Amino acid sequence: MDGLDLWHWLFGRPLKFSQAQQEEITTSEGLAALSLDALSSVAYGPEAIASVLIVAGAGALPLMMPITWAIVGLLAILVFSYSQVIEAYPNGGGAFVVSRDNLGIGASRLAAAALVVDYVLTVAVSIAAGIAALTSAFPSLLPYTVPLCLALLALITYLNLRGVGESARAFLLPALIFIVGLGGVIASGMIHLAAQPALFAKPPVAAQSVGTLLILRAFAAGCSALTGVEAIANGVPLFRPPRQLRAKRTEWLLGFILGGMLLGLSFLMVHFHLRPQPNETMLSQVMGQAVGKGWIYYTVSLSVTAVLGLAANTSFGGLPLLASVLARHHELPHLFAIRGDRLVYDYGILWLAVSSGLLLVVSRGDTFAMIPLYAIGVFTGFTLSQAGMVMHWRRLRPPGWTWKAAINGLGALLTGVATLVFVFSKFTEGAWLVAVTIPALIFLFYRIRRYYTKVGQILGVGETPPPVAIPSPPRVIVPFSGLTRVTARALEQGLAMSPDVVAVTVLFEPEADEVGAELQRQWAEWSPPARLVILRSQYHSVVRPILRFVESLEHLSSQRVVVLIPEVIPTRFGQSWLHNQIAMNLLTALRQRADVVVGIVPMHLETDE
Amino acid sequence: MDGLDLWHWLFGRPLKFSQAQQEEITTSEGLAALSLDALSSVAYGPEAIASVLIVAGAGALPLMMPITWAIVGLLAILVFSYSQVIEAYPNGGGAFVVSRDNLGIGASRLAAAALVVDYVLTVAVSIAAGIAALTSAFPSLLPYTVPLCLALLALITYLNLRGVGESARAFLLPALIFIVGLGGVIASGMIHLAAQPALFAKPPVAAQSVGTLLILRAFAAGCSALTGVEAIANGVPLFRPPRQLRAKRTEWLLGFILGGMLLGLSFLMVHFHLRPQPNETMLSQVMGQAVGKGWIYYTVSLSVTAVLGLAANTSFGGLPLLASVLARHHELPHLFAIRGDRLVYDYGILWLAVSSGLLLVVSRGDTFAMIPLYAIGVFTGFTLSQAGMVMHWRRLRPPGWTWKAAINGLGALLTGVATLVFVFSKFTEGAWLVAVTIPALIFLFYRIRRYYTKVGQILGVGETPPPVAIPSPPRVIVPFSGLTRVTARALEQGLAMSPDVVAVTVLFEPEADEVGAELQRQWAEWSPPARLVILRSQYHSVVRPILRFVESLEHLSSQRVVVLIPEVIPTRFGQSWLHNQIAMNLLTALRQRADVVVGIVPMHLETDE
């Protein structure tokens, strides 16, 4: 098995375009493939609220219920708005597409920057929460939180590099266990409560001073549960026809399930008098209270980890695609638009893995350390796509457009206000990082675009190139280190191109005279049809004198210069250590510094070693 | 400040050959520059004996004295032998040179392998012992042992890459403080003892069962104190004339000081009833008892750390030089014979730093974990150089040669027996690692030599190369990705070489027809004097179809093929991320796989960005 075989075994054989997956999904499959990011956030959303409220004491925790109701109200508006996006953009309309079409390049850059931040955070938060579900169920794993997070990240990255990250069917079983399991847990918890009227009664709010700012911050933290409700609108083309109908149905289904779960879990948390614990998630506590720590608890816990892992996976579908679109619009390096052998965007996948990995290491895998960063990006996206839709309806004016525009307008207003609230209320908790990153990304997009525009002008992209003349033969320079067959071959290749061939070698100073005289004698004896130039060097460097010689030739005459570097190339990879790397070093230096054609004349060795 | 300036600031401007240091040293400077490896080993040698004996209980520790006497006896023989080596090899005679001259290539490979192992161990052991001296004096540093070891290693590596590692004068002050300081400590300790006759009396050996094997192992561990006595013989050319006289004088001086210190320290350790402690070295304990923990204690402790660091530094002088000699004899990759800008052998220095760094990490900076590995390599070298000297005298037969041969013969016999004892007595403690590494290195040297010999034959090194004919012009292939000025330039460069120029592009399958038709139209409009070939690809890869096309050309005709790859090269390094790396990927693939000349046509961009 040679290196390439190993590579293919690890990452799969190259795929043809015709082998690209062409799945068409149904409503329930759509729920599994596109909604896990949103649904899985019930694992951390309610606890995020509690972890802010607890600052004012355990007596503030009953405030979870009204805050959750406010979040569910916002969810309803978002679901309503996004089903209109689905109707308007049958080819998929994320915040980026909608704002590019309706709000111009500035807004689309803002949307793109917010989305990039969001995708990275989704991966990091989902993985951290997934591992938290695991360590809650198996506390002995707790000391290995960060390594476990990185291992899960590596697994997801690997699967995506293989290009098997988006098989909707693989999502079905864990999604089903998750939804049915959590539904059962909530139902069972309610029955428990009903049996104990003392618990069922509404607990009073008992904190002395719960300020407005604290409630706003708790609301903002809870809004992390709304991430991902836009994913279905992005993925309309994946659905089986009638596409838009199925997609809208999926969106509404998601809204109902997510809203129900949020309300149910918050209710149980308040009435069971639970509070955040360092070593066990509140979801795990609810499950323990509702169904006891038996096999149901462990099965649902594992499905929570699996579903959060899959939620991270959906970002791996989203970010590389967004980056490739940006790259094709010249707003990110073109590398991000290159598809690898498995037809996935390798650079985007790797970039996402590295950034979210860094975030996981810095936050030590603590979900709630990252939550404050989360909502700003998400809600910026919400605001832009809703605002874009308002412009869309104003422009097209279909029947009943005022009504549609009003719904989207209300959505834009609410999410816009929410975004501002988040920036100010959570600024010191880490939101400043996002508030710095998003403008920095926008500036980066702008600079990259300007660079590419300028390069395109210089290269004359889109124009007919200048006419090509047939020039006179170039002067060919052949650097060599000894009179061997390699040098002879390179001279012959040079003579095939031009009669004007110069062989150049570098001798080091203490012995230059002696060695030079002997070399000239051997050259005369051999007498190839080329001139010999000996460069002397005070320094122990071959590259520098040759570079200087070539540069002086460029200045002396207008004749084109070609440098042909002989190189011995062993058959086996391991043997390349046995040959010094001067040829490639020289090529790199000349290509960077000199305006000459520079080539390698390879001589492949068969040594049977 | 650009990249190159930063590099020069960090590693110094390039040096000319004429700037290489030409120091000539006196006896006392020689002691400082060449003997620190040997002298500094008093910091761990006596404790190494104690740390073996303690296995049989504290009652076995008085056996340190007779064992130390045996080691000092061996030292006397070695000093005597090496002063003969100095006489015979005025140009420096290490184990490698002496055995190459007198015992043949096999023995010289064994000597080289033993020396390589030895240099790596010297660095690791000296640094670990130096940091142990530091953490004994400042126990709060103890948790940072490994990072401190690596930091000291990095500092030494950096200084050596700058080429300032061998300034004898920098060694004088710490060496002086060390010798005078430790001498004072020993004298002061003796006075303390003399004042307490109870302590001065010889303590009885009180262990039930001190087996012969244990005593042998303790002796072997203590022999680690003898490492480095051969360094002066290696460095004869550094001395000011009369060279050999000064070198011999230095060798004898080293013998007296080292022997005296070993005996003195062992005596104090036994009579102060000291024993190995996990957090404090026995040397530090002796110093504490003899002079109290005042400023003298701290000054001498710091000088111990400094001198051990300098001892590690001497290996950085030795190994890269040895590796360069081996590389020039084709027994190691030629890379090791390349000198960097500062005229030092960068690859050897870096290799030594990495290997000894790994050893420090694996052993967690524990000196005595590495001691069992140490003696085998050292004593193999001793044995070979003594045996080589016997052959040397037999060959030359100068007046009184039998007497000289007898001394070297006795040295060879004793050190040879010692080597065997070490291999067997310490095999399970880690000596197996050395017993495996040395033969593996020898095999490596042999294989590398055989490879280079074969390559030399294939390339015709040393013969006059075959006569060079003037061939017909090549077929020039220009891969391109769009009709821009870059492509036009590359075609022009190709036409300068040959009238037969083919422009090649790759189109991906779903859109190949459409894009191809448009390209052909534009080509016809532009009409350069070259043919256009469009390759279609089922895969998302540019490199593979072009490689296959070039290979098919090679098979179809015997015409030479030149591939000229246009490449846009931005002025600033950071901008290279904005250009995809297809040109270099294509060059690498073609150079590895195809028998064609492959070149880059660079187009340097000035974008003012």
What CATH number is associated with residue A565? 3.40.50.620
Residues 320-339 of B with CB under 8 A from A: 333-335, 338-339
pLDDT of A169 reads: 65
Residue A468 belongs to some domain of the structure: no
A375/A325 same-domain check: yes
CB contact under 8 A, B540 and A492: no
- Chain B positions touching A16 (Cβ under 8 A) are 509, 538-539
A443/A549 same-domain check: no
A509/A441 same-domain check: no
Query: Do the Cβ atoms of A41 and A242 come closer than 8 Å?
Result: no
Which residue pairs from B1-10 have beta carbons closer than 8 angstroms and sit at least 24 positions apart in sequence? B3/B573
Residue B516 belongs to some domain of the structure: yes
Query: Do the Cβ atoms of B477 and B504 come closer than 8 Å?
Result: yes
- The shares of helix, strand and coil residues in chain A, as percent rounded to the nearest 5, are 70, 5, 20
CB contact under 8 A, A609 and B448: no
Residues 486-515 of B with CB under 8 A from A: 486-488, 491-493, 495-499, 508-510
Q: How many inter-chain contacts (A to B, CB under 8 Å) are there?
A: 252
Stretch B129-154: mean pLDDT, rounded? 89
pTM for this model (two decimals): 0.73
* DSSP type of residue B239: B
Distance of residue B106 Cα from the nearest chain A Cα, in angstroms? 21
CB contact under 8 A, B529 and A470: yes
**d(Cα A605, Cα B17) in Å, to the nearest integer?**
34
CB contact under 8 A, B597 and A598: no
pLDDT of B501 reads: 93
Residue B32 belongs to some domain of the structure: yes
Residues 6+ apart with CB under 8 A from B491: A468, B478, B501, B503, B528, B530
Query: Do the Cβ atoms of B348 and B337 come closer than 8 Å?
Result: no
Residue A465 belongs to some domain of the structure: no
Q: How far is CA A95 from CA A26, A76, A89, in A?
A: 24, 18, 11
Count how many domains chain B has.
2
Q: What one-character-per-residue DSSP string does A494-511 give?
A: HHHH-S-EEEEEEEEGGG
A550/A599 same-domain check: yes
A127/A164 same-domain check: yes
* DSSP type of residue B301: H
Strands ordered across the beta sheet of A475-479:
A531-537, A501-508, A475-479, A561-570, A597-605, B597-605, B561-570, B475-479, B501-508, B531-537
Residue B320 belongs to some domain of the structure: yes
A531/A383 same-domain check: no
**d(Cα B25, Cα B246) in Å, to the nearest integer?**
9
Q: Which residue of B has its CA nearest to A338?
A: B540
Q: Of A452, A484, A528, which has the smallest distance from its Cβ to B461's Cβ? A: A484
Q: Residue A223 in 3-state DSSP?
A: helix
Interface test with A, best of B18, B450, B475, B484 (most A CBs within 10 A): B484
Q: Which residue of B has its CA nearest to A567?
A: B591
CB contact under 8 A, A488 and B465: yes
Compute and round to an integer the Cα radius of gyration of chain A.
32
Place of tokens 């350390």: A369
Contact with chain A for residue B567, Cβ under 8 A: yes
A436/A502 same-domain check: no
Q: Of A469, A486, A608, which has the smallest distance from its Cβ to B492's Cβ? A: A469
**d(Cα A334, Cα A474) in Å, to the nearest integer?**
34
- Chain B positions touching A602 (Cβ under 8 A) are 591-592, 594-598
Stretch B169-182: mean pLDDT, rounded? 83
- For residue A404, give the H/E element and its range: helix A401-425
**d(Cα B386, Cα B408) in Å, to the nearest integer?**
5
Q: What is the ipTM of this complex?
A: 0.74
Residue A321 belongs to some domain of the structure: yes
pLDDT of A352 reads: 93
CB contact under 8 A, A607 and B454: yes
B109 pLDDT above the threshold of 80 = yes
Contact with chain B for residue A574, Cβ under 8 A: no
Q: Which residue of B has its CA nearest to A499?
A: B470
Residues 336-395 of B with CB under 8 A from A: 338-341, 343
Domain assignment of residue A582, given as a range: 475-605
The two three-digit tokens of residue B76, written as one number: 């006397």
Residues 520-539 of A with CB under 8 A from B: 522, 525-526, 528-530, 538-539
Q: Of A485, A487, A602, which has the smallest distance from its Cβ to B595's Cβ? A: A602
Q: For the segment B198-252, what is each residue's pLDDT rounded down to a tens digit?
A: 776 777 766 556 788 788 888 888 888 888 888 888 778 778 878 888 889 999 9
**d(Cα B289, Cα B281) in Å, to the nearest integer?**
13
Distance of residue B457 Cα from the nearest chain A Cα, in angstroms? 10
Cα A584-A590-A593 angle, rounded to 5 deg:
135
Residues 107-166 of B with CB under 8 A from A: none
Distance of residue B464 Cα from the nearest chain A Cα, in angstroms? 6
Residues 428-487 of A with CB under 8 A from B: 447-448, 450-452, 454-455, 458-461, 464-474, 482-487
Q: Which among B312, B339, B370 is the end of a domain?
A: B370
Query: Do the Cβ atoms of A485 and B598 come closer than 8 Å?
Result: no
- Chain B positions touching A524 (Cβ under 8 A) are none
**d(Cα A408, Cα A81) in Å, to the nearest integer?**
5
**d(Cα B76, Cα B81) in Å, to the nearest integer?**
9
B32/B157 same-domain check: yes
CB contact under 8 A, A466 and B488: yes
Query: Do the Cβ atoms of A240 and A24 come closer than 8 Å?
Result: yes
Q: Which among A399, A417, A452 is the end of a domain?
A: A452
Q: Which among A419, A452, A485 is the end of a domain?
A: A452
Interface test with A, best of B448, B455, B472 (most A CBs within 10 A): B455
Q: Which residue of A has its CA nearest to B476?
A: A497
**d(Cα A374, Cα A223) in Å, to the nearest integer?**
9
- For residue B567, give the H/E element and its range: strand B561-570
CB contact under 8 A, B607 and A454: yes
**d(Cα B296, Cα B284) in Å, to the nearest integer?**
12
Residue B17 belongs to some domain of the structure: no
Of B131, B179, B133, the closest CA to residue B155 belongs to B131
Of B435, B430, B315, the closest CA to residue B370 belongs to B430
Q: Of A339, A564, A609, which has the smallest distance from its Cβ to B451's Cβ? A: A609
A155/A243 same-domain check: yes
Of A261, A224, A218, A29, the closest CA to residue A122 belongs to A224
Q: For the segment B434-482, what is each residue's pLDDT rounded down to a tens digit?
A: 888 999 999 999 999 998 888 888 888 888 888 888 888 999 999 998 8
CB contact under 8 A, A528 and B587: no
In B435-526, DSSP assigns E strands to: 475-479, 501-508
In A464-543, DSSP assigns E strands to: 475-479, 501-508, 531-537
Q: What one-character-per-residue DSSP string does B369-438 give?
A: HHHHHHHHHHHHHHHHHHHHHHHHHHHH--TTHHHHHHHHHHHHHHHHHHHHHHHHHTGGGTHHHHHHHH
- The shares of helix, strand and coil residues in chain B, as percent rounded to the nearest 5, are 70, 5, 20
pLDDT of B156 reads: 85
Residues 3-22 of B with CB under 8 A from A: 14-18
Contact with chain B for residue A598, Cβ under 8 A: yes
**d(Cα B146, Cα B130) in Å, to the nearest integer?**
12
Which regions in chain A score pLDDT beneath 70?
A: 1-24, 93, 163-170, 200, 205-209, 341-343, 573-574, 607-609
B76/B190 same-domain check: yes
A485/A448 same-domain check: no
Q: Of B540, B562, B602, which has the smallest distance from its Cβ to A591's Cβ? A: B602
Burial of A140 from C-beta contacts in 10 A (0-12 / 13-18 / 19+)? exposed
Residue B483 belongs to some domain of the structure: yes
Residues 395-414 of B with CB under 8 A from A: none
Q: For the segment B368-412, what is each residue's pLDDT rounded down to a tens digit?
A: 888 778 778 888 888 998 899 899 888 888 888 888 888 888 888
CATH of the domain at A234: 1.20.1740.10
Of A547, A517, A119, the closest CA to residue A345 belongs to A119
Burial of B413 from C-beta contacts in 10 A (0-12 / 13-18 / 19+)? middle
Of B557, B503, B513, B558, the closest CA to residue B536 belongs to B513
* DSSP type of residue B211: -
- Chain B positions touching A567 (Cβ under 8 A) are 591
Strands B597-605, A597-605: pairing kind: antiparallel
A218/A278 same-domain check: yes
Contact with chain B for residue A551, Cβ under 8 A: no
